[in-house]
Amino acid sequence: MQFVITAYDGAGMLQKRMEVRPEHLANMSQIKGKVLCAGGLLDEEGKMKGSVMVMDFPDRELFDEYLASEPYIKPVYGRK
């Protein structure tokens, strides 16, 4: 099953995104082959304001497991 994640950062979150980014990239390396396409979303000034990912998982349960492990979603990034 293919899933599309479109995530926009809240105001003032760019610095926090950059702090957590190494954890995000390490997590992404654990799911090689699942990411079909990914990239940052930029504002009019070329600054990152979010991201989009197209992913392929065998089922929703495995996708949800990935989401639970994603540092950009976990409480460390400011979400509960």
pLDDT in tens, 32-65: 899 999 999 999 999 888 899 999 999 999 999 9
| Cβ atoms of residues 41 and 50 within 8 Å | yes
Which of the four pLDDT bands, split at 50, 70 and 90, describes residue 72?
confident
Q: Is the pTM above the cut of 0.85?
A: no
- Tell me how far apart the alpha carbons of residues 58 and 15 are, in angstroms, rounded to a whole number: 34
The structural domains of the chain, with segments of one domain joined by +, span 2-77
Fold adopted by 2-77: Alpha-Beta Plaits (3.30.70)
Spatial separation of the C-alpha atoms in residues 66 and 64, rounded to whole Å: 5
- DSSP symbols for 49-78: EEEEEEEE-SSHHHHHHHHHH-TTTSGGGT
